[in-house]
Amino acid sequence: MSEHIHHYTSDDLSLTQAHSYTLLLQVDENCFSYAVINGKQLLGWAENHPVDELRDPQQLREILTANYKQVVTGVHGTGFTLLPSSLFDTERVADAARLLDVSDDEEVSAEMLDNQNIIVYKISETLTRAIKDLDNQKTVYTNAGWIKAIADARPADADIYLDMGNGIVSILNFKDTRLRFYNTFKFNNHEELAYFCALVYGELAIKPEDARLIISGDINDTDGYFTYLQGFFGEVTLNTLQVLNLPQTTPSHKILALAALSLCALSEEN
């Protein structure tokens, strides 16, 4: 997997116009990535900055303190569960949270993940402190936009989607274009990643040779993780889905989960 830190700034970026822009943030306990967009145009992007920079901006002070039209923050959950929306009562979030073994330094949030499912997830106090001072903020589950972007692309039943970063892989599958499987796993090496993929295939009763792995995140088609997966599964490709207008120097699969948070902002405005 790549150790390169990607960064892009458009000549069109002018923070005096930030009131017309949206800031997208994807945050976990240790680091965050950001994108500045104007409509569907990507104006700025950087990844893997330390969370301390959110709490006390130094290097990114101008970017993080500009007066944006909206800030959409995707937060990493330390645990989650999915519940059918037809059975969910917003007044009983605390009951659902009992499934997550919530500690004193965690908070619980719940939101619509799609038309059929509610995701209830817990967030660490470290993360909530890091984002508490952001203005005009809408907070969503970290992969909410990624799941929506793939659902909108009408995925095939045998397509398994992966998004990878910071030693965590999110795995997603649809059946008849409805969410069938979503989970996240921590992995340390090629073998563990392949094992979790095979585990999902077994649970979904899909033969590995019949399936297609479609991958986004911190990976490229020449590194060891990618080529190792090619030895076990029928087809392994990078995800070419684009939800923003990107420059040629910005690989769409690298930024997909972050860029897809823009769909969460647009859904509020439409």
Q: Quick one: pLDDT at residue 89?
A: 76
Report field, pTM of the whole predicted structure over 0.75: yes
Q: Quick one: pLDDT at residue 216?
A: 98
What angle, rounded to 10 degrees, do the helices at 252-259 and 144-152 form? Answer: 110
Residue with tokens 């001072």: 133
Give the pLDDT band of residue 208 (cuts 50, 70, 90).
confident
pLDDT digits (tens, 9 = 90+) for 135-192: 888 999 999 999 999 999 999 999 999 999 999 999 999 999 899 999 999 999 999 9
Which residues, other chains included, contact 210 with Cβ-Cβ below 8 Å and sequence gap of 6+?
158, 234
